[in-house]
Structure 1
Amino acid sequence: MNMNFKTTSLAAAVSAALCANAWALDPQSIKLADGIRFTPSLEVSERYDDNFRANEYNEESSWITRLSPSFELAVDGDKSAYRLTYLADSDIFHSSHDDDNTDHHLTGDAGFEFDARNRLVLSAGYHKVEETATQDQTLENDKYTTSNIGGVYTYGARTARTQFELGANYEELRYQNSNHINADKERDSTALRGTVFYRVAPKTRLLVEARHTDYDYIDNRNRDSDNIALLGGVTWDATAKTSGTVKLGGERKRFDRSGISSKSSAMWEAGVKWMPRTYSTFSLDARRGLDEGEETASSIESMRTTLGWEHEWSDRLASTVSYSYTDNEYQNYPREDKIKVLGLGLTYQVRRWLDVGLGYKYAERDSSRDGQSYQRNIYMINFNASL
């Protein structure tokens, strides 16, 4: 389920891009009973990060060993399916053992098809994370948890001319830092979405979408606000050699306190894939919208574009290339960040159950605020294994 919540952390973006070269693995499951499968996997990686705190000054480097076991329990029925997944990311910093940490990710999904016209997908998640690249490097690492529960209900047969979707998601963000560090960022958010699809061709649909997200902060009540967005666009499935979704519209952020002015902005979202060959895929992901503020900024007007290329050179060898550019303009605060991330990955499938990957990432942030610019290089080798 995609409710378009903010996931713009650079550390998360770098980590996700580094993990992208594990896509060739073909894991086997353990059959526990009819329709019940258990799938374990393990990723072991060694990386060198020459600026793991993302500092402009006093850069720190380290070799980092990561152990990432994951477990999935799946139950498939005639008209329902369930998934429960647990993933742990344990990082060992060889030059700074005080930064050793383990992230925990627990997610659950359930899908139901009641009849040809009525479908429902439910999802929930809990994530416990520690990040060495923090907003203020003079303080301790950011330590936080997020938990969410939501669902998407769809009305209309898959081949019907008109379909309706209703989505809802509730999320909590809490920090575990000492001395109430980051307490001003803790919040609850409730997101609602309604989308109407109208089929104009066998694989092409027009859409109109309305969204409302309410943000309630625990301590910093000045940031209590709601975002309202209206979008129109088109989505298509494997038409010729492309597939994707493009949405255009506008967004308005309104604060509960009258002393903070509202902010309106153009908004767009696009996700397009082009496959000139069956073994080669180009992708474009772009977004412009209003994100929650940091420091004393009321909000952040963010514009992000990501280009990617995946190419399968043989049955066993594949490569990935990605480049992203983000422009974050802080509102009611004199700061603008421009972030660039370049990623290269190469994966070799030694066996059906074992991949070996090499990766490189270059990250750069050019900030108008002193002390927030940096450059970062990450080199990695990883082994991804399953049954």
Structure 2
Amino acid sequence: MSMNFKTSSLAAAISVALCANAWALEPQSIKLGDGLTFTPSLQVSERYDDNFRAVEKNEESSWITGITPTFTLAAEGRKSAYELTYSANTDIFHSSHNDDNTDHHLTANAGFEFDARNRLVLSAGHHKVEETASLDQNAENDKYSTSNIGGLYTFGAKTARTQLDFGANYEELRYQNSNNLNADKERDTTALSSTAYYRVAPKTRLLVEARHTDYDYVTNTRLNSNNIALLGGVTWEATAKTTGTVKIGAEKKRFDDSSIDDKSGSLWEVGASWAPRTYSTFNLNTRRALDEGDSGASSIQSQSTTLSWNHEWLDRLSSDVSYTYSDQEYQDVKRDDKIKTLGLGLTYEMRRWLDIGVGYKYSENDSSAANESYERNIYSISFTASL
């Protein structure tokens, strides 16, 4: 199998499964057989969170120890690649041991290149999560799991003028809270998409994309709906020190319940990177879309923009700075959240197999709803090790 296929198609599968690991260190894999490798890693962190429930009043703070082992089993064939990854993220709250929890993440990905014109990427995952950030301190933490399976089929040679992508994904969201808490949020989501690309330059392609997403709620059936979206845009690779994709269009959300008005609006997704120097990269990501509702809202009109900067000061020392502004307009209820998040990080590559990181994160929610605003500061230090 060509290395080019491994780093493009399989990387896309990992991204779809939301489990991509961005290695700062260079982990050493254990060779188990011909084309079969095993890669373990371990991250241990200590952080101080001054408002780990993200509430406006009666804030709770704690030192939190995080332990995250990750195990990846990968196999390669001549025209195929497979990857199975499991990680467990344990958080120990030293001021509130009732909130101690372990999140589990299991993902599987496979990529196939049948010939020059036909490629397929498959992905599946199961994630079990507990979140302490809760707007109701009298309720227990949100405990939920998501399971998904999907795929992306591509027709057209990589150098061809035209290409077609056909994608599908099915996801289940289930809560494990007691007394049916959050049961109204449980749903099944089926998403279909198709994208046509037309090459106008060696590294630049125009695109047209159509999407259809169906939301089927388990008990709260009044929110059953389907979203239809149409976008157009451009994608380019390593052109004038930039790489990116711009998609702009519109979407409409139709509810099965006639008592809820249909929603529509503009839709965009933009992701771009600019590297004025090989050791310095700026990233811009912005998105506007209709998301599923919460806190009584039929849906949420979300718009967010993130600007980040990564800079390598020395061979082993790098920094990350990011700022995110998000505006969430709750539909059919009187609530508008404006969320600001600032992140600062410094990573020192002490050894090939060991990274040391320190970080700070500040978040603020200015909400028009009563008792929904908050401020939160998180200070952290982490050690990430591999073989």
Equivalent pair of 2:196/2:209 in contact (CA under 8 Å): yes
Instruction: Indicate if the aligned counterparts of 1:85 and 1:107 stay in contact, CA closer than 8 A.
Output: yes
Asked whether the 8 Å contact 1:3–1:191 carries over to 2, the reply is no
| 2:289 counterpart residue number | 289
Q: Quick one: distance in 1 between partners of 2:119 and 2:211?
A: 20
For 1:165-244, list aligned pairs within 5 A: 165-244=165-244
Amino acid at match of 2:56: E
Taking the aligned partners of 1:306 and 1:141, their CA distance within structure 2 comes to 28
Equivalent-residue separation in structure 1 for 2:266 and 2:240 (angstroms): 30
Query: In angstroms, what is the RMSD of aligned CA positions?
Result: 1.7
Q: How many pairs does the alignment contain?
A: 375
Report how far residue 315 of structure 1 moved.
1.0
* CA gap 1:228/1:3 in 2 versus in 1, 3 angstroms: farther
Aligned twin of 2:349: 349
Instruction: Please tell me whether the aligned partners of residues 51 and 59 of structure 1 are also in contact (alpha carbons under 8 angstroms).
Output: yes
- For residues 269 and 33 of structure 1, what CA distance do their matches in structure 2 show? 42
Letter in 2 for 1:225: S
Q: How does 1:14-163 map to 2 (within 5 A)?
A: 23-163=23-163
Partner of 1:276: 276
- The 3 A distance-change label for structure 1 pair 336 and 101 is same
Q: Using the alignment, how far apart are the partners of 1:354 and 1:101 within structure 2?
A: 26
3-state DSSP class of the match of 1:114?
strand
**1:10 aligned partner:** none
Alpha-carbon distance in structure 2 between the residues aligned to 1:3 and 1:358: 26
Instruction: Specify the SS of the correspondent of 2:25.
Output: coil
Matches of 1:364 and 1:103, distance apart in 2? 25
2:9 alignment counterpart: none
Q: 1:236-262 CA distances to partner (integer Å, 9 max, x unpaired)?
A: 000010000000000100000111110
In 2, the alpha carbon distance for the partners of 1:247 and 1:108 equals 28
Is contact 1:290-1:301 (8 Å) kept? yes
- What amino acid maps onto 1:44 in structure 2? V
SS at match of 1:165: strand
SS in 1 for 2:115: coil
Alpha-carbon deviation of 1:138?
2.4
Give the 4+ runs in structure 1 shifted more than 6 A. Answer: 2-5
Percent identical among aligned pairs is 71
Deviation of the 1:135 alpha carbon: 3.8
TM-score by length of 2: 0.95
For residues 201-224 of structure 1, the C-alpha deviation after alignment (integer angstroms, 9 at most, x for no partner) is 000000000000000000000000
Change (3 A) 1:350 1:382: same
Farther off after superposition, 364-373 or 159-168: 364-373
Cα distance, 1:380–1:365 mapped onto 2, change above 3 Å: same
Find the aligned partners of 1:4 and 1:324 in 2 and give their Cα distance: 21
Unaligned runs of 5+ in 1: 8-15
Contact 2:337 2:368 in 1 (8 A): yes
Write the distance in 1 (CA, Å) between the matches of 2:140 and 2:368: 23
Q: CA deviation at 1:2?
A: 8.1
CA distance in 2, matches of 1:136, 1:267: 32
Q: Determine which structure has greater relative contact order: mean sequence separation of CA pairs < 8 Å that are 6+ residues apart, divided by chain length.
A: 1
Render the CA deviation track for 1:282-307: whole Å, top value 9, x for unaligned: 00000000000012211000000000
Matched to 1:228, the amino acid is: I
3-state SS of paired residue (1:184): helix
CA contact (8 A) 1:3 1:169 kept: no
